[in-house]
Amino acid sequence: MSHESDATRGPTRRRLVLAGLGSAALPLLSPLSHAANVAEGPETLRIGYQKSSTLMIWLKSRETLEKALAPLKVSVQWHEFTSGLPLLESLNVNNLDLTADVADAVPPFALAAGAQLTYYAIETPSPTAQAIVVRQDSPIRTVAQLKGQRVAFAKGAGAHYLLVEALAEAGLSVRDIEPAYLTPADARAAFERGSVAAWVIWDPFLAAVQRQANARILRDGTKLASYRRFYLAATPYAKRRPDVLAVVYDALRRAGDWIKRNPGPAAAWHAPLIGLDPATVEAANLRRTYQVQAVDAASLEEQQRIADAFAAQSILPRKVTVAASPVWKPV
């Protein structure tokens, strides 16, 4: 059984820590007791996802996990979020068990807030699936020209890390610009009315603003930010139900394979679900690998580089050690 959740607002210390990091936090989901679920019937797997979570949306639309997990007596609940930080916030306070893909910059923020999370899968790098964009008529031609300019991005997103690295490449830091921490919808509006000089954004929003507003790419992540997307689990759940993680992992891999083999049909399916036209979705999908793999050493090393870069600029409240987090491995 699948449904969208409403939220409750129970404050916790960790919730406030994450909110202080600049997430446009959605209200938290109502906590569910695993023990109660088991006692009353099938256990419930609670999955959080975003509009950019193509593979999980594919599985949700076909009730693939509901069918695959039925023999394990596990039902599924689906909860949609507008960005990655609120999603991990709910994972942190035991309102979710698994997350769909989040950008590579998101987990370090959750770790800095003390989250007990387990890395269980990644999508291989898609560096061109996020970029710094300017309007077509903008006089800005280089990242260095962003100095003193107002730049829109979502704090803690993969776009945030891309901006940090692009500025460093140009001899600048975030202190040299005027940050505008905005959700994709608010940033798009600000970008189009000219109240920000640039916008750092990911697909499918990137493809949409290119096609619909003729945005020009100033710098993408090529040789700068790999943009791996991570799938995460609450560590207590990962320890207790590795069999469920195995089923989800296999389903994600199959979904990724199908979408890459069938770009046209995949875009036609996905477009109405996220309110975009098929051509825009197909353009976005071409920049994403959708290749799901086990978490490897290279991806964790980059996680540490991201955490260190954020800590060095006081974007994270403290240093984190990524290697201290568990990593699930498929059998």
pLDDT tens sequence for the chain (331 residues): 434 433 333 333 343 333 333 333 332 333 333 333 333 456 999 999 988 899 999 999 999 999 999 999 999 999 998 777 788 888 888 899 999 999 899 999 999 988 999 999 999 999 999 999 999 999 999 999 999 999 999 888 889 999 999 999 999 999 999 999 998 999 999 999 999 999 999 999 999 999 999 999 999 999 999 999 999 999 999 999 999 999 999 999 999 999 999 999 999 999 998 889 999 999 999 999 999 999 999 999 999 999 999 998 888 888 999 999 999 999 8
Is 157 in contact with 84 (CB distance < 8 Å)?
yes
Among the residues of the chain, which ranges form H helices? 13-20, 34-40, 54-62, 64-69, 84-92, 106-112, 158-169, 184-193, 205-213, 235-240, 242-261, 263-274, 278-287, 297-312
The pLDDT tens digits for 42-92 are 699 999 998 889 999 999 999 999 999 999 999 999 999 877 778 888 888
Q: Percent helix, strand and coil across the chain, each rounded to 5? A: 45, 20, 35
CA distance 231 to 117: 10
Give the H or E element holding residue 99: strand 98-99
Tell me 145's DSSP state. Answer: G
- Exposed/middle/buried for 324, CB within 10 Å: 0-12, 13-18, 19+? exposed
For the domain made up of 127-220, the CATH class stated in words is alpha beta
Taken in order 91, 97, 101, 104, the sign of the CA dihedral is: positive
Residue 258 DSSP SS3: helix
Give the H or E element holding residue 149: none
Q: Are strands 216-220 and 130-134 parallel, antiparallel or unpaired?
A: antiparallel
CA distance 80 to 207: 21
pLDDT at 41: 55
CA distance 217 to 214: 10
**What b/e readout covers 232-262, taking b as 16+ CB neighbours within 10 angstroms?**
bbbbebbeebbebbebbbebbbebbeebeee
pLDDT at 280: 95
Taking the CA atoms of residue 153, residue 54, residue 109 and residue 165 in that order, the dihedral angle to the nearest 10 degrees is -50
CA distance 240 to 326: 13
Q: Is 7-125+228-324 CATH 2.60.40.150?
A: no
Sequence spans of domains, the chain: 7-125+228-324, 127-220
Q: Name the nearest CA neighbour of 166 among 229, 109, 225.
A: 225
Q: Quick check: do 7-125+228-324 and 127-220 share a fold?
A: yes
pTM of the model: 0.81
